Amino acid sequence: MPDRNRIYHGVSIGILMLDTRFRRFNGDVGNARTWPFPVQYRVVRDATPNRVTRPEGPDMLDAFKAAADEMIDAGVDGITTTCGFLALYQRELADHCSVPVATSALLQVPMVARILPKRRRPAILTFSAESLTSRHLDAVGVDTTTPIHGMPPGSEFQRVIREGDASVPFATLQREVLETAERAVRADGSIGALILECTNLAPFSRDIAHLTGLPVFDVVTLVHWFHRSLTPERFAQD
């Protein structure tokens, strides 16, 4: 990347975090152990899951713009987030920022749709099917007929995120996630891949792929791709 006046160096990815208190397991975008490269976090205060994921929630765009600007000024070369629902702000944040922005795992859906065999299509597994609207899909170029399957409204998975409960064990959440993924795939034989909208689903991606036999795309696959573009590997030449 071009030289800039930076506060810190060697960190390409800046991650805008929701204001949360639940436990982020390894594999979650908000757990720094997930990444084999350094990342920088910035919490967007008052951007709680309830505010960001509810269709009637307040407009938080300006707060995310300000946080992104701070990280860019400090030294990052690209911006991502800890919530797939921020797909809603993809165009606005990309237009505003001076570095590339990849808000949501949903950005991968159009690509996945084009790599699958004939008569197979991607499906979205989301934190809340009721809250993920056509506005979110349109914002990142996703076909609005794409199947959407959400975690049950009464699930522990939804509750711990909305309430900030860090006490629920990994195994409980894992069971709920796998049950939801299995129901989705059994109900629709056309599904050829799953895209996990919710960044908190990523710790379960390997289990989902093993259970369903399908490719799984999540925020981790997105950010690895994104990081590789910002810091391409240098290959030794013979």
> Is there a single domain that holds both residue 88 and residue 113?
no
Does residue 235 belong to any structural domain of this protein? Answer: no
> Is there a single domain that holds both residue 68 and residue 123?
no
pLDDT at position 9: 81
Distance, in Å, from the CA atom of 214 to the CA atom of 102, rounded to the nearest integer, reads: 24
pLDDT at position 56: 73
> Is there a single domain that holds both residue 208 and residue 137?
yes
> Is there a single domain that holds both residue 117 and residue 184?
yes
pLDDT at position 196: 98
pLDDT-based confidence at residue 195 (cuts at 50, 70, 90): very high
Task: Reply yes or no on whether the pLDDT at 58 is more than 90.
Answer: no
pLDDT-based confidence at residue 2 (cuts at 50, 70, 90): low
> What is the helix (H) or strand (E) element at residue 184, kind and residue range?
helix 170-187
Task: Reply yes or no on whether the pLDDT at 200 is more than 80.
Answer: yes
> Is there a single domain that holds both residue 73 and residue 114?
no
pLDDT at position 234: 93
> Is there a single domain that holds both residue 120 and residue 203?
yes
Domain that holds residue 96: 13-104+222-230
Does residue 2 belong to any structural domain of this protein? Answer: no
> Is there a single domain that holds both residue 122 and residue 190?
yes
Task: Reply yes or no on whether the pLDDT at 5 is more than 90.
Answer: no
Does residue 236 belong to any structural domain of this protein? Answer: no
Lowest mean pLDDT among 56-60, 132-136, 144-148, 200-204: 56-60
Task: Reply yes or no on whether the pLDDT at 231 is more than 60.
Answer: yes
Strand arrangement, sheet containing 121-126? 148-150, 121-126, 191-196, 216-217
> Is there a single domain that holds both residue 194 and residue 226?
no
> What is the helix (H) or strand (E) element at residue 79, kind and residue range?
strand 78-81
Averaged pLDDT, 180-196 = 97
> Is there a single domain that holds both residue 125 and residue 40?
no
> Is there a single domain that holds both residue 100 and residue 31?
yes
CATH number at residue 115: 3.40.50.1860
Distance, in Å, from the CA atom of 220 to the CA atom of 226, rounded to the nearest integer, reads: 10
What is the number of structural domains in the chain?
2
**Angle of CA points 196, 201, 203, to nearest 5°:** 120
> Is there a single domain that holds both residue 68 and residue 111?
no
**CA proximity to 131, closest of 185, 56, 63:** 56
pLDDT at position 238: 87
What's the whole-number average pLDDT of the chain?
Answer: 95
Does residue 8 belong to any structural domain of this protein? Answer: no
